[in-house]
Structure 1
Amino acid sequence: MSVAEHLDPAFQAERQRAASRSTWVSVWINLGLTVVQVVVGLLARSQALVADGLHSLSDLVADFVVLLANRHSHQAPDHDHHYGHARYETVASLWLGLLLLLVGLGMLWRAGERLTSGSPLPAVHIAALWTALATLLAKELLFRYLLRVAERVRSSMLVANAWHARSDAASSLVVAAGIGGNLLGYHALDSLAAALVGFMVAHMGWKFSWQAIRELTDAAPEETVVADIRATLASTSGVCDVHELRVRKMGDLVLVDAHLLVSPVISVSEGHRIAEQARQRVLEQHLALDALIHIDPEEDQIARNSTAPSREQLLPALASLFDPPLQSEQVVLHYLQGSVDVLLHLQPQQTLLDPTALAAQQHTLQLRSLQLLRHHP
């Protein structure tokens, strides 16, 4: 999918509707699971089931974070968000990750307290097992539904929410195993299952948070993405080399900066045309929000170390040697290999007053070459 298709208003509207619809489905399922798990867990004396219920509660809060981000992330660029609002999704993923991390650590703390308290651990009621199995089925089905929607509309935020649901299903499996072990007489397994659920939730939270932090700090995308963009730029007609390629994520898209080496003897307008062609190819072939292309006639390091005189220094020294004096548009400068080549376009009536003085100026200004081109009527 090209960025034009990705940013198409019809696709964006469908993307937002799908995100809202799927998230509301998740809201109602998690609301029901939270109530059932906590109530049954308390009545059946299952710490693991209560922990899973609190996990479902964190899912409910996460769903509202996703809804809020979905509402704002599709807004068009404005005066203080020149690149749009795509990073609202990244911020939402960060909050979601931090929430999971805190919930997971809380579960670990509570389970550790119970296991080390020295008090006898109670047996749980079989209703807890049936509730855990029903929860497992519901969350696995929710994961498959959310992932299908996320892949269809290409939303990293919805993918994160879908895998969050899969982690819920995995935690429910652990809870069911722990409750089953408790029913078989191994009473500590219920609390151990609660601790394991806490670890899984905290690990998932850390994973989401770290990924979001990397995106917010302009981390590069996968190496394959960068390599594909480099290949697209390098294959553009007129491009001799690609260097200083920098790519950073912007929500589900990327921003690209690149320097392209072109022939040093082409005109500015042709160099600009090559840059526009390269930029358009990147936007058409990759999920890029924008591409900033810089044209170079030679390697940047050579140009940076150059001590060649500027136009402001050259023009006064050369203009007075002709009658009438040279105008700026008559002087063409080519800065190459740390020096400068000068081409003077003379009008039919223009005369060189002192050839010796011109040769002396060429030496003084350290010009690599100096050519005169006279235009005849």
Structure 2
Amino acid sequence: MKHERVKEVVELTQYEDIKKGEKGAWLSIAAYLVLSSIKLWIGYTFISGALVADGYNNLTDIIASVAVLIGLKISQKPPDVDHPYGHFRAETIAALVASFIMAAVGLQVIIEAGRTMIAGNIETPGMITAWVALAAAAVMLVVYTYNSRLAKKINNAALHAAAKDNLSDALVSIGAAIGIFGAQLNMPWLDPVAAFIVGIIICKTAWDIFVSCTHALTDGIDEKVLKKLRITVANTKGVREISDLKARVHGNNVLVEVIVQVDPELTLIEGHSICDEIERRLSKKHNILNVNVHVEPQDMKNNNI
């Protein structure tokens, strides 16, 4: 009973952590709304294509942040008949959506930069556009730092993806500023080159998030994690052999299924006690709440072969 009470407390803490994650999503949305408005206004006024593109980039980021927020909202729903393990995977799906949006923006930046380099007709923007871009980069670095730390604290994949998006946006703004300063120094080619490099960085970040999310959604898990779980189960008193051990990621949780062999002369109560001990140890050492343990009597004949 004590283990069950601890489990309920940890589950409640998880839902509270997800609620905290909403603050990061709202912070990103607020920052993008303000920055996109300023960038588009200054960019069009002082003829800076780089800053205008950066402004539209932030508009698309609002959609990504809203997707993350929706994912966090859905993941807070308690388990039901259709979702016995809860709705935590909504976080992963939200992060996946964010990666698609980031990839689209990155490709757009690369294409526009390529067109500008081919055309060669680059106008010199006003210096104020460079300072606006640098100020925007500083703001996004602050937002990135906040969201990154919060994502690590609550172990939230969707917010971690949003934080990476924040960092990409800071790099975009820095790239825009470099291009504008280069134009002022009679090096207009720096603008599209910087934009092209930033576009590649955005696409690389989107790809990393995509790989991580699809790996989790297809029930993939790190082999190092499996090895640690196997060691913990094997070292549990009463376990003679592990027949099978599987695990999969569910949001920020890990679900474990394990089959162990025990002394065939143990009573049902003693076998159940071993199951409880495995659950307790996995919960304490690896923060795993959902463990399905199946106990089998050890086949002494096969064991001696």
Aligned partner (choices 49, 52, 57) of residue 50 of structure 1? 52
Confirm whether residue 216 of structure 1 aligns to residue 217 of structure 2.
Answer: yes
In the other structure, the counterpart of 1:235 is: 235
Range with bigger deviation, 18-27 or 29-38: 18-27
Deviations 1:297-329 (A, max 9, x none): 336xxxxxxxxxxxxxxxxxxxxxxxxxxxxxx
In the other structure, the counterpart of 2:90 is: 88
How far, CA to CA, are the matches of 1:115 and 1:74 in structure 2? Answer: 47
Larger radius of gyration: 1
AA aligned opposite 2:174? L
In the other structure, the counterpart of 1:29 is: 31
Contact 2:47 2:126 in 1 (8 A): yes
The 5 Å alignment of 1:191-270 reads: 191-220=192-221, 222-270=222-270
Contact 1:47 1:191 in 2 (8 A): no
State the percentage of identical aligned residues: 31
How far, CA to CA, are the matches of 1:269 and 1:103 in structure 2? Answer: 59
Deviations 1:121-170 (A, max 9, x none): 22221111111110111111111122232233332221221222122222
Contact 2:98 2:161 in 1 (8 A): no
In the other structure, the counterpart of 1:290 is: 290
AA aligned opposite 2:151? A
Normalised by the length of structure 1, the TM-score is 0.73
In the other structure, the counterpart of 2:188 is: 187
Runs of 4+ in 1 over 4 A off after TM superposition: 2-5
The 5 Å alignment of 1:1-377 reads: 5-8=9-12, 11-12=13-14, 14-117=16-119, 119-220=120-221, 222-298=222-298, 337=301
Contact 2:43 2:52 in 1 (8 A): yes
Shift of 1:182: 1.6
Pair 156,243 (structure 1): closer, same or farther in 2 beyond 3 Å: same
Shift of 1:266: 2.4
Contact 1:33 1:56 in 2 (8 A): yes
Range with bigger deviation, 28-37 or 273-282: 273-282
How far, CA to CA, are the matches of 1:3 and 1:44 in structure 2? Answer: 58
Contact 2:91 2:251 in 1 (8 A): yes
Q: Relative contact order: is structure 1 or structure 2 higher (C-alpha 8 Å, sep ≥ 6)?
A: 2
Contact 1:237 1:274 in 2 (8 A): yes
Identify the structure with the greater helix proportion.
2
AA aligned opposite 2:281? R
AA aligned opposite 1:200? I
AA aligned opposite 2:264? P
Shift of 1:179: 1.7
Gaps of 5+ in 1: 300-335, 339-377
How far, CA to CA, are the matches of 1:114 and 1:287 in structure 2? Answer: 52
The alignment partner of 2:101 has SS state of helix
Contact 1:4 1:284 in 2 (8 A): no
Normalised by the length of structure 2, the TM-score is 0.90
Contact 1:47 1:190 in 2 (8 A): no
Identify the structure with the greater strand proportion.
1
Q: How many residues align?
A: 297
Contact 2:25 2:69 in 1 (8 A): yes
The alignment partner of 2:291 has SS state of strand
Instruction: Give the superposed CA RMSD.
Output: 2.0
Contact 1:140 1:165 in 2 (8 A): yes
How far, CA to CA, are the matches of 2:55 and 2:107 in structure 1? Answer: 15
How far, CA to CA, are the matches of 1:230 and 1:294 in structure 2? Answer: 14
Contact 1:48 1:193 in 2 (8 A): no
AA aligned opposite 1:103? V
Shift of 1:239: 0.7
How far, CA to CA, are the matches of 2:298 and 2:18 in structure 1? Answer: 46
